[in-house]
Amino acid sequence: MTLVMTQPYRGRLAPTPTGHLHLGHARTFWVAQQRAQAQGGVLVLRIEDLDRDRCKPQYTLDLLEDLAWFGLRWQEGLDLGGPYAPYRQQDRLDVYQRVWQQLNRLGVIYPSPHSRRDVARALSAPHEGDREVILPPQLRPDRWPQVEQPGAVNWRFRVPDGETITFVDGNLGLRSFTAGQDFGDFIVWRRDGFPSYDLAVVADDQAMAISEVVRGEDLLLATAKQILLYRALGWSIPGFYHCPLVRDQAGRRLAKRDGVNSLRSLRQRGITPETLRQIVNL
Q: Which residues form the catalytic set?
A: 256
User: CA-to-CA distance for 168 and 183, rounded, in angstroms?
Assistant: 19
Query: With the C-alpha atoms ordered 130, 28, 205, 233, is the resulting torsion angle positive or negative?
Result: negative
Helix%, strand%, coil% for the chain, nearest 5: 35, 20, 45
User: CA-to-CA distance for 129 and 116, rounded, in angstroms?
Assistant: 12
Annotate 78-142 with three-state secondary structure.
CCCCCCCCCEEHHHCHHHHHHHHHHHHHHCCEEEECCCHHHHHHHCCCCCCCCCCCCCCHHHCCC
The answer to whether the CB of 18 falls within 8 A of the CB of 256 is yes
The answer to whether the CB of 77 falls within 8 A of the CB of 85 is yes
For residue 162, count other CB atoms closer than 10 A to its CB. 9
